[in-house]
Amino acid sequence: MNLNAKIFVAGSTGMVGSSIIRRLKKDGYNNIFYKSRKELDLTNQKAVHDFFKNHKFDQLYIAAAKVGGIQANNEYPAEFISENLLIQTNLITTAFNCKIKKILFLGSSCVYPKNSSQPIKESDLLNGKLESTNEAYAIAKIAGIKMCEFYNKQYSKKHKIDYRSIMPCNLYGPGDNYNTKSSHVIPALIHRFHNAKLKKINTIKVWGTGKARREFLYVDDLAQACVYLMSIEKKILKKNINNYNGLINVGSGHDISIMDLANNISKVIGYKGKIQFDKKNFEGVNQKVLDISAMNNLNWKYKTSLNLGLKKSYNNYLKKIIKS
């Protein structure tokens, strides 16, 4: 673990990127670089190349992406696939050309097939049809995973590169997006329940039957996993992970129904009204929980319980709306 390594975090203004930066600083790394979207357009290959060439980074965390919930993914698939392909292709190819030896690519559990057996193993990738509501985003992320894998396959020995991909489950926490049209389920429900509480709305409608089950991880736990994974020697990874190809799941290993999640969030916020589930709207796959055996083999485990994480997230939300 080289605390003087020169590190660039792409996507620093997002929930994941900002959390990774906080974790790197907490762990004592003192040579961290990041740029906002206005300062560096990651879809512009020349701009990325010039920036990387000038700084000569040792490590790259790719947390930059166009993200959104079911509604956004379903309405804007062209933007989700094109923008994400541009960002990650520019970053990975330019990193190689500028001799950056280590990359951590942030993927998503939506890359796995819709009807995967539970819990989902890394080996399930590309073994079935994707969930249609986020297919565009998933395909872009799969391309990023495979780019890292194929660069390793072709160039790891000659150029000493080590590109890794981490697949997190659903994330939430500080820096989340609370726009109900583009957010994921936890921030969307926090925002809606809070407003309903203030306005004394008697009933809140939630998409789907409420029976779908999801796994959630507090974003600061993911950030710790990312920095930890980047610090582990390649030979140790190969020793502890079967069929190592640089792809590793990370999560809590536990899932919860959307119905129970909604009830938990309403209790944290203090909303006393009725929760009604709209069966006519999307809810995605029935269940999605990751097999985190590989990370467990590396002695990693999440720390923040869902209940504690929801309380922290609501407190963060309150601070955010007070500032605005």
- C-alpha 277/C-alpha 72 separation (Å) is 20
Judge whether 52 and 95 are in contact, CB under 8 Å: yes
Alpha-carbon distance of 111 to 321, in angstroms, equals: 33
| Whole-number Cα distances in Å, 80 to 18, 44, 108, 140, 190 | 21, 17, 13, 8, 25
Residues contacting 93, CB < 8 A, separation 6+: 45, 147
C-alpha distance across the termini of the chain, in Å: 39
Catalytic pick among 137, 178, 218, 302: 137
Structure tokens at 323: 């500032």
Tokens representing residue 147 in the block: 């780019």
CB-CB neighbours of 184 under 10 Å: 21
For residue 160, what are its two tokens? 């000493």
For 6, 232, 241, 247, the CA distances from 238, given in Å and listed in that order, are 25, 10, 5, 11
Q: Using CA atoms, how far apart are residues 175 and 17, in angstroms rounded to an integer?
A: 9
Active site residue 137: yes
Report residue 59 as tokens. 């490590």
Which of helix, strand or coil describes residue 129?
Answer: coil
Catalytic residue numbers read 137
